[in-house]
């Protein structure tokens, strides 16, 4: 019997793909203009798609050189596929898979950091984008201060190969200045508040530790480099074997770099690009002077609600966001969180209703075709909580309001980090502060809710003094934590409406 193996996606298989799945660009057909740091699923399903459509519509030398900071696997996978990968949009109407040809190069930073620095000093590159997660910036989530350890100091103060994102970016910019390679925009596409301003802050704090990083280089940075803020949005759960199987069925070719996500996507970008940019607006992005109101709306509503559902859902033993949303009382609790707390805490972009935006977010979370693990959204809570929930609390307090539902989310996180579901199964804690969180919990005088809350409020990299000094907020959190502890998530939510 003849054994047939499905071929790997690549230039050689393109002509066999269904018409609607073919890429709009041929990888390498468009010269590189962008370096992107972070080749994860979110980049592939978001910025790569926008950029491919923009260049296909309006042209321009804006191919993307994708750089994986650490993972060699994704680099090898993409190279074996001629830099092609597919994105599947999942909805009740069935999957739709399209191959993306936006990548004009793929690099592995850990294997060749010098090559990445040289790339940033190449005049053809006029935009650098980053999707590297909150923690890779090495900034304190509360103060925005750069956390300088041995590795970072070695990256900045010596000529050795840089291993960190601040090291790569700052040394790349210094090399660009020395090469007189022209102005550039450095664009954060990470999901955190004031992302452009924070990235700029990271560069400013790091550069003074680099030999030659002050003086004329500082002037050049001010005059020739911009840090536009952005708001990025698309639900892109981590790929699973099922993702690859769906892509293979659609393409008739195997795609080891396949990603999937919801059909919805949004990108709001501050339009400050001294070396030009792709026509992202023609691909549906919103170009604006201030992404701040969009960013706050999204982080506090979409991500705040996401985190709430993830912590409470995980403790209730629910595997996915969509199934956690079905817990009786969950929808009502998060709706009230949006209407009574988030809406009080911010001024939305003109013409946008926070409550309506919140309702559309719940529809997206309920997408039955998306299996987004509560575990995935719950990770890195110490980095996410401040911008998703704690800022809401602080701004509500400043407005004289009592953020009761936001306090429930904090209590949900405190219950989650204790590491067991309501029915006693272990919950993994995947967080850069996991060790400190565990130490604090172990050192607490008891496991009573008040003792647990006091121990965790002591994490000053998470909770600003302004919040921990507010007795109303503390007591609200302790009240919810007591209910969660005594009655479990389901009973607490049932009584919450």
User: Residue 223: how many CB atoms within 10 A of its CB?
Assistant: 9
Q: Which residues contact 138 (CB under 8 A, 6 or more apart)?
A: 146, 147, 148, 149, 152, 164, 165, 166, 202
Tell me the two tokens of residue 464. 């600003």
CB of residue 41 vs ligand CS2: minimum separation in angstroms?
Answer: 10
Looking at the chain, the number of H-run helices and the number of E-run strands are 23, 12
* Cβ at position 188, least distance to ligand CS2 in Å: 14
Q: Is the dihedral of CA 428, 429, 432, 438 positive or negative?
A: negative
Three-state secondary structure readout of 15-65: HHCCHHHCCCCCCCCCCEEEEEECCCHHHHHCHHHHHHHHHHHHCCCCEEE
Shorter beta-carbon distance to ligand CS2: residue 220 or 264: 264
Cα torsion for 68, 74, 78, 80, to the nearest 10°?
130
Q: Between residues 62 and 294, which has the closer beta carbon with respect to ligand CS2?
A: 294
CB of 425 to ligand CS2, least distance (A): 21
- Strand-pair category, 230-233 with 266-270: antiparallel
For 319, which DSSP code? Answer: -
Closest CB 263 distance from ligand CS2, rounded Å? 13
**d(Cα 64, Cα 55) in Å, to the nearest integer?**
11
Report in angstroms how near the CB of residue 364 gets to ligand CS2 at its nearest: 9
Site track for ligand CS2 across 299-338, x = CB under 6 A: ----x--x--------------------------------
Pair 134, 379: CB distance under 8 Å: no
Smallest separation, CB 139 to ligand CS2 (Å): 17
Angle between the 404-416 and 471-494 helix axes, to the nearest 10 degrees? 80
CB of 306 to ligand CS2, least distance (A): 4
3-state helix, strand, coil in the chain (%, to 5): 50, 10, 40
In the Cβ-directed half-sphere of 113, how many Cα atoms lie within 13 Å?
A: 18
Residue 235 found at the interface with ligand CS2 (CB under 6 A): yes
Binding of residue 264 to ligand CS2 (CB under 6 A): no
Least gap, CB of 104 to ligand CS2 (angstroms): 26
Tokens found for residue 443: 């050192």
Instruction: Kindly indicate which of the ranges 105-113, 233-241, 394-402, 443-451 contains the residues binding ligand CS2, using the contact rule CB under 6 A.
Output: 233-241
234 binds ligand CS2 (CB under 6 A): yes
Cβ-based nearer residue to ligand CS2, 311 or 405: 311
By CB under 6 A, residue 248 contacts ligand CS2: no
Judged by CB under 6 A, the number of residues near ligand CS2 is 9
Sequence-distant (≥ 6) Cβ neighbours of residue 442 within 8 angstroms: none
138 scored as a contact of ligand CS2 (CB under 6 A): no
Q: Mark 344-383 with x for binding to ligand CS2 (rule: CB under 6 A) and - for no binding.
A: --------------------------------xx------
Q: Does 233 contact ligand CS2 by CB under 6 A?
A: yes
Task: Please identify, using beta-carbon distances, which residue of 116 and 389 lies nearer to ligand CS2.
Answer: 389
Cβ pair 228, 185 in contact under 8 A: yes
Taking the complex as a whole, the smallest distance from the CB of residue 376 to ligand CS2 amounts, in Å, to 6
For ligand CS2, the closer of residues 107 and 306 by Cβ is 306
Scan residues 10-39 and list those touching ligand CS2 (CB under 6 A).
none
Of residues 25 and 377, the one with the C-beta less far from ligand CS2: 377
Strands 127-130 and 103-108: unpaired
Which residues 167-206 are close enough to bind ligand CS2 by CB under 6 A?
Answer: 191
Backbone angles phi, psi at 255, to 5 degrees: -130, 105
With CB under 6 A as the contact rule, which of the stretches 229-237, 284-292, 393-401, 438-446 interacts with ligand CS2? 229-237
- Identify residues 75-134 at the interface with ligand CS2 (CB under 6 A): none
Read off the tokens for 177: 């200045």
Residue 53 interacts with ligand CS2 (CB under 6 A): yes or no: no
* Smaller CB separation from ligand CS2, 81 or 195: 195
- H helix intervals, 235-338: 241-251, 292-297, 304-315, 321-324, 330-336
Q: How far is the CB of 301 from ligand CS2 (least distance, A)?
A: 11
Secondary structure E strands in 61-175: 63-68, 85-89, 96-100, 103-108, 127-130
By beta-carbon proximity to ligand CS2, the closer residue of 181 and 377 is: 377
Binding site for ligand CS2 (CB under 6 A): 191, 233-235, 303, 306, 376-377, 384
């Amino acid at each position: 019997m003849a054994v047939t193996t499905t071929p790997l996606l690549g230039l050689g298989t393109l002509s066999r793909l269904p018409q609607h799945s073919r890429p709009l660009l041929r990888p390498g057909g468009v010269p590189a203009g962008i370096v992107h740091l972070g080749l994860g699923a979110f980049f592939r399903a978001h910025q790569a798609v926008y950029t491919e459509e923009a260049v296909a519509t309006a042209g321009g030398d804006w191919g993307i050189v994708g750089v994986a900071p650490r993972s060699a696997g994704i680099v090898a996978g993409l190279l074996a596929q001629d830099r092609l990968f597919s994105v599947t949009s999942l909805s009740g109407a069935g999957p739709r898979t399209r191959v993306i040809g936006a990548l004009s190069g793929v690099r592995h930073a850990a294997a060749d950091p010098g090559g990445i620095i040289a790339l940033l000093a190449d005049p053809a590159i006029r935009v650098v984008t980053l999707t590297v997660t909150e923690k890779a910036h090495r900034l304190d989530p509360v103060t925005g201060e750069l956390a300088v350890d041995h590795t970072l100091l070695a990256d900045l103060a010596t000529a050795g190969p840089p291993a960190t994102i601040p090291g790569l970016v700052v040394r790349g910019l210094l090399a660009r200045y020395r090469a007189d390679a022209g102005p550039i925009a450095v664009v954060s596409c990470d999901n955190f508040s004031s992302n452009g301003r924070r990235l700029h802050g990271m560069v400013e704090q790091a550069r003074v530790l680099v030999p030659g990083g002050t003086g004329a280089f500082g002037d050049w940075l001010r005059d020739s480099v911009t840090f536009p803020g952005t708001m990025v949005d698309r639900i892109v759960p981590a790929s699973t074997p099922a993702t690859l199987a769906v892509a293979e069925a659609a393409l008739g070719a195997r795609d080891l770099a396949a990603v999937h996500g919801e059909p919805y996507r949004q990108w709001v970008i501050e339009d400050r690009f001294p070396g030009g940019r792709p026509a992202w607006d023609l691909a549906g992005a919103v170009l604006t002077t201030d992404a701040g109101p969009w960013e706050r709306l999204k982080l506090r509503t979409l991500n705040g609600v996401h985190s709430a559902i993830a912590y409470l859902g995980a403790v209730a033993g629910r595997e996915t966001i969509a199934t956690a949303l079905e817990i009786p009382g969950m929808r009502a609790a998060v709706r009230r969180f949006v209407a009574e707390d988030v809406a009080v805490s911010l001024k939305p972009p003109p013409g946008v209703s926070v409550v309506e935006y919140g309702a559309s977010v719940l529809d997206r979370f309920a997408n039955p075709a998306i299996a987004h693990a509560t575990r995935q959204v719950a990770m890195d809570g110490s980095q996410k909580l401040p911008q998703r929930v704690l800022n809401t609390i602080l701004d509500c307090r400043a407005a004289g309001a009592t953020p009761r539902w936001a306090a429930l989310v904090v209590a949900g996180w405190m219950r989650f980090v204790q590491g067991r579901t309501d029915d006693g199964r272990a919950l993994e804690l995947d967080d850069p502060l996991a060790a400190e969180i565990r130490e604090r919990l172990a050192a607490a005088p008891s496991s009573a809710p008040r003792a647990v809350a006091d121990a965790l409020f002591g994490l000053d990299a998470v909770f600003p003094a302004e919040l921990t000094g507010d007795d109303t907020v503390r007591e609200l959190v302790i009240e919810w934590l007591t209910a969660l502890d005594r009655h479990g998530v389901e009973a607490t939510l049932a009584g919450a409406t």
